[in-house]
Amino acid sequence: MSTIVVFVCVIVGASYYWLWRNRVLDKPWTTQGTAVDPRGDIGSISGSTKTALVLFLAVVTSLFSLFISAYFMRMALDDWQPVSEPRLLWINTGLLIFASISIHWSGRAAAREEVFTVKLTLIATGVFSGAFVLGQLIAWQQLNNTGYYLRSNPANAFFYLFTGVHALHLLGGLWVWLKAVFRVFSGVELQAVRLTVELCRTYWHFLLVVWFVIFGLLLNS
Q: What is the pLDDT of residue 192?
A: 82
Give CA–CA dist 99/126, Å, rounded: 7
Beta bridge pairs of residue 45: 36
Q: What are phi and psi of 45, to 5 degrees?
A: -115, 145
- Give the separation between CA 117 and CA 193, rounded to whole angstroms: 14
What is the domain extent for residue 82? 2-219
For residue 135, the one-letter residue type is G
Q: Is residue 73 a contact partner of residue 219, using CB atoms and an 8 Å limit?
A: no
Contact call for residues 109 and 201 (beta carbons, < 8 A): no
The DSSP secondary-structure symbol of 36 reads: B
What's the pLDDT at 12?
52
Q: CATH number of the domain that 95 lies in?
A: 1.20.120.80
Strands (DSSP E) contained in 17-131 are none
- Distance, in Å, from the CA atom of 134 to the CA atom of 91, rounded to the nearest integer, reads 11
As for how many domains the chain has, the answer is 1
pLDDT on residue 157: 86
pLDDT by residue for the chain (221 residues), tens only, comes to: 444 455 445 555 555 554 455 444 455 545 544 444 444 443 444 556 667 777 888 888 988 998 898 888 888 877 788 777 788 999 999 999 999 999 999 999 998 989 999 999 999 999 999 999 999 999 999 888 887 777 778 888 889 999 999 999 999 999 989 999 999 999 888 888 888 898 899 999 999 999 999 999 888 76
- Given CA atoms 174, 177, 179, 185 in this order, what sign does their dihedral have? negative
CA 171 – CA 134 distance, rounded (Å)? 11
pTM comes to: 0.77
Alpha-carbon gap, residue 176 to 30, rounded angstroms: 7
